[in-house]
Structures are given as C-alpha cells and as structure tokens.
Chain A
C-alpha cells in the first residue's frame, strides 16, 4: 500500500473514531438527563399536567388558529421595524444641520426604547394610550401591542443598521464621490447596499427574538393570540399542556430561522476568509 492510501485510511479511521465518541457521549449525556427527569419524585404529576396527550389533541387546533394571529402580527411588525430602524439609523448618521432636531429625537428614541424592557413597553402603551382617551388613537389591544413591539425592536434594529453603515470603510465613500456621485447617491448606491449585506445575520437574530416576543401582547389581553389561549385554558384546569403546544409552534418557526442564520454565517465566513 502506498503512503497516500495509508494516510487516507488513517484519516478515515480518525474521523470514524471521532464520530463514535460523539455518539457515545451524546447518548450518555442525554440518557442521563432523561433518567434524571423521569425518576424525579414529581415526574408523574408533571407528565399529567404538561404532557397530557388527550389534552394536547383537544387544544392544539385552537392554539394553531391563535398562532396564525401571532404570525400575522409578526410579519406586519417586522416590516414596521425594518422601516423605523432604517429611518432612525439614517437620521443618526446624516450631518445636515436642518436635520439636527430629528437627529436628537432619534438618539433619545434609541436610548430610551432600548433601555426599557419590552414587556413594560407593551404594558405602558397597551394600557396607557387608551387611558388618554384621545379620539383617533388606536384602542385595539392587538394594534397597541404591535406598536409597542415595533417601537422596542425598531430601536434595536436602528443600532444594527447604524453599526453596519459605520462598518463600511470611509474609502468607499471617497470612491463613490470620486466617480461623480452626490453624498446621497454614495449612501444609496454604495454604502447602504454594503451595510445591509453585512447586517443580515444580526437582523435575522432580531427577527427570531421578535417572533417569540409577539407572545408578550397576551399580557394586555389580546384575544385569540396563541399564548393567551394557552394561558386561559391552563387557568381553567391547571393543565399546562396548552403551553407545551404553543411552545412547539414557536419552535417550528424559530428553529429553521436559527439554522438558516448558522448556514448564512458559515457561507459568509467562507467568502470573506
């Protein structure tokens, strides 16, 4: 056998040994955890209150309908978040003197709304705005909850955009001006396209977080929302299986997104390494 084949064989052996170790260690760790849970004193009770199959079958269709509301709220809020984030980020980086008051407002906005817990914002806007009793303002809990989420995530996303814009090297702006673009043209055709490409992964990360946080609107009594349905049902008979059903639905959306994010970052790593 020549050296080449020998080395290839050794590499394959090493790879196989690595896989075997990974399998054994996974079985040991997960098996151990499962054994710990299953032999715990309260397990039989937990199984009844959280993993009741009959209950699951009964409640699942209702929660699925509620989850459809979550998805619609998520999609609408996400579009608003992307727009708010972009406008606020642009206001913060532009240097035109006339924009100064807006720039100040944008800075205060990002500082304040990133500094307040999202759950508190949902409360404050959800209950505070209707209390003003001003006509013309929305009073639907689902709309107010969506506004609170959009304002909270808009502040985060604005900072993501801003970091992306600032990460584009100054020499790109110089080159854009040198080919005859205006400052606005340089921003639009050279700087923003590069910034948006760079912030894709962190933006997707915020999407995933937002997707979960849509459940927060349940606390201001948005009827028909998945978590709210689970909450109400669980409070009737102290069976928490509906929560598990809702959790599974969130995972159905967030897990693929997380894998997509990993994949995306690997691809970028390859390209720019």
Chain B
C-alpha cells in the first residue's frame, strides 16, 4: 500500500480547469486541468519555472488567474466576489522558505490563524497547537523563536501552522528545497505523517523518491502545461510522454554524475 494511504480517494477536493496565468509577457500556466480527490496526495514535478509554485499560489488565491476556474469542494473559488479569506481558511499552504513570523514563538506561529483568523479561544488553540508541535517532534520548542531553530524545525512548525485548522487540503510548495540535506528527512516524515492520516494534499517537489513514497499520483509540469498525470509508479518508472522521459533521465544523470 503506497504512502500508507488509509483511505480510498473520493470526490475531488481541488480542481483546476483550463487555468492560465501570465506574469507580464511570460505565460506561466497555459491551461492546467487537474483534480485532487479526497485523501489523495498528488505530487507535481517539473523543472524550476515550470509553474508548480504558481499553481499552488493561484489555488490559495495569493495570485489571480487569468482564465479558467479553480474549484474547492465543487465550488468555484476564482470568481470575483468570492470570499478569498474564507477560501484560504479552508486550505493550508506551506512555503519553500518557511515564511514563519520571526517576532512570534513557535506556538504563537501555529495558533495565530486560529486565534485571529478563526476566532478560536487562545486556550483551545494553544492546547491543539502544542499537540500538533509534539506530533511533529517539536515538543519543548513551543517558546523558541524561529531564529533559534534549524531549517528543518522551522519547516515542521510551518507545516503545523498550515495544518492547525485541519484544512480541506494541504498545499506544499517545495517544502524541502531550502533545507540542508541532513534536515530533509525530518520534514518529509512530517508530510508522510499527514498522508497516513488521510490528509488531501497537492505538493510540488524536487524529491522523486519522496514523490514515489508519499504520492498516489504524479503530475509532470512542463512549460506551464500538465504534460502527464498518472499513478506515481507509472509516471516515475515508465513515463509515457517524451518530455517526462527526458526530464527524469536528466535527473538520473545528474544523480550519477
């Protein structure tokens, strides 16, 4: 059972339909169609600049899309007039460079959205926050500030922060790319932990072994298009599209060199 998935994927939680996005002259997304079903983990792979991060930021409504629709639980969230704050409260985004709040402690980072965004009592939010931190191996670090912690610890706090509200889906943007190699494992373990409890997730990653390990399906993004999307094992071991084959071969060569 790959990724230890406890639940069978169900209805789509996230859907992108013909999503396009340009920054000035540069077309970053050129018509993306993608669905992430309940309890499913979808990994996005592809070269830097292929649009992985942009897609995640568009889904969390941090960027406006140009055309197409993005749906959360069957409801279009990219129309004007949609309550963007309400949508973001149903999603959890983890950034490549952690983006923790440096003036707050680990625990305050985890509860800030709960307390000020969702109006949950501080006592309850902190109780849940402590449990979450210790779940990710950070018990005893509650009162440390981010600059007192390693990159791996900071990223696990960022994961706890994004997960604090039990979002409908977690969006993980290259969560290990900024880390020293020896710290990657602890962060991947936290993501695997989420996957094992059936959390729906869409993750951009450079780590093919991790994609194979945790993802149910893998999508290959190339120049703003989803070139191939299928079962993880198939896409990573027997890619059908020539671009995917070329990308994976280059990665393999770089590994050997």
Partners in one complex: yes
**In the complex the two chains form, what is the Cα distance from A182 to B85 in whole Å?**
6
The smallest C-beta distance from B178 to any residue of chain A, in angstroms, reads 12
**In the complex the two chains form, what is the Cα distance from A194 to B62 in whole Å?**
21
Q: Does A177 contact B (CB under 8 A)?
A: yes
Give the chain A neighbours of B101 by CB distance below 8 A.
172, 175-176, 190, 194
Do A179 and B103 touch (CB < 8 A)?
no
**In the complex the two chains form, what is the Cα distance from A175 to B62 in whole Å?**
10
* Most chain A CB atoms below 10 A, which of B100, B112, B147, B162: B112
Q: Does A178 contact B (CB under 8 A)?
A: yes
Q: Does A193 contact B (CB under 8 A)?
A: yes
The smallest C-beta distance from A149 to any residue of chain B, in angstroms, reads 31
Give the chain A neighbours of B164 by CB distance below 8 A.
179
Do A194 and B97 touch (CB < 8 A)?
no
CB within 8 Å of B: which of A163-211? 171-172, 174-182, 185, 189-190, 193-194, 197
The smallest C-beta distance from A169 to any residue of chain B, in angstroms, reads 8
Do A181 and B99 touch (CB < 8 A)?
no
Given contacts A171-B97, A175-B95, contact A181 B112 (CB under 8 A): yes
Do A185 and B116 touch (CB < 8 A)?
yes
The smallest C-beta distance from A193 to any residue of chain B, in angstroms, reads 5
Q: Does A266 contact B (CB under 8 A)?
A: no
CB within 8 Å of B: which of A79-98? none
Q: Does A271 contact B (CB under 8 A)?
A: yes
Do B93 and A181 touch (CB < 8 A)?
no
Do A171 and B99 touch (CB < 8 A)?
yes
**In the complex the two chains form, what is the Cα distance from A185 to B113 in whole Å?**
10
CB within 8 Å of B: which of A214-273? 271-272
Residue from A171, A182, A193 in contact with B103 in the complex, judged by beta carbons closer than 8 Å: A193
Residue from B97, B147, B162 in contact with A178 in the complex, judged by beta carbons closer than 8 Å: B162
Give the chain A neighbours of B85 by CB distance below 8 A.
177, 180-182
Do B99 and A177 touch (CB < 8 A)?
no
The smallest C-beta distance from B95 to any residue of chain A, in angstroms, reads 7
The smallest C-beta distance from B116 to any residue of chain A, in angstroms, reads 5
Do B88 and A174 touch (CB < 8 A)?
no
Q: Does B69 contact A (CB under 8 A)?
A: no
Residue from B62, B95, B102, B113 in contact with A181 in the complex, judged by beta carbons closer than 8 Å: B113
The smallest C-beta distance from A165 to any residue of chain B, in angstroms, reads 14
**In the complex the two chains form, what is the Cα distance from A178 to B164 in whole Å?**
12
Q: Does B165 contact A (CB under 8 A)?
A: yes
CB within 8 Å of A: which of B82-117? 85, 88-89, 91-93, 95, 97, 99-103, 112-113, 116-117
The smallest C-beta distance from A148 to any residue of chain B, in angstroms, reads 35
Do A189 and B99 touch (CB < 8 A)?
no
Do A174 and B116 touch (CB < 8 A)?
no
Give the chain B neighbours of A185 by CB distance below 8 A.
116-117
Given contacts A171-B97, A185-B116, contact A180 B89 (CB under 8 A): yes
Q: Does B135 contact A (CB under 8 A)?
A: no
Given contacts A172-B99, A193-B103, contact A179 B161 (CB under 8 A): yes
**In the complex the two chains form, what is the Cα distance from A272 to B148 in whole Å?**
11
Do B88 and A177 touch (CB < 8 A)?
yes
Q: Does B118 contact A (CB under 8 A)?
A: yes
**In the complex the two chains form, what is the Cα distance from A174 to B97 in whole Å?**
12
The smallest C-beta distance from B248 to any residue of chain A, in angstroms, reads 31
Q: Does B216 contact A (CB under 8 A)?
A: no
Give the chain B neighbours of A197 by CB distance below 8 A.
103
Do A174 and B102 touch (CB < 8 A)?
no
Interface contacts beyond A179-B117, A180-B113, A181-B117: sample of 4 additional A-B pairs, CB < 8 Å, sorted by A: A174-B99, A180-B88, A181-B85, A197-B103
The contact sample of 23 A-B pairs, CB cut-off 8 A, is A171-B99, A172-B101, A174-B62, A174-B95, A175-B95, A176-B112, A177-B62, A177-B85, A178-B93, A178-B95, A179-B113, A179-B164, A180-B89, A180-B113, A180-B117, A181-B112, A181-B117, A185-B116, A189-B116, A193-B103, A194-B103, A197-B103, A272-B147
| A residues adjacent to B (C-beta < 8 A) | 171-172, 174-182, 185, 189-190, 193-194, 197, 271-272
3 cross-chain pairs, A with B, having the tightest CB-CB distances, nearest first: A179-B113, A180-B117, A175-B99
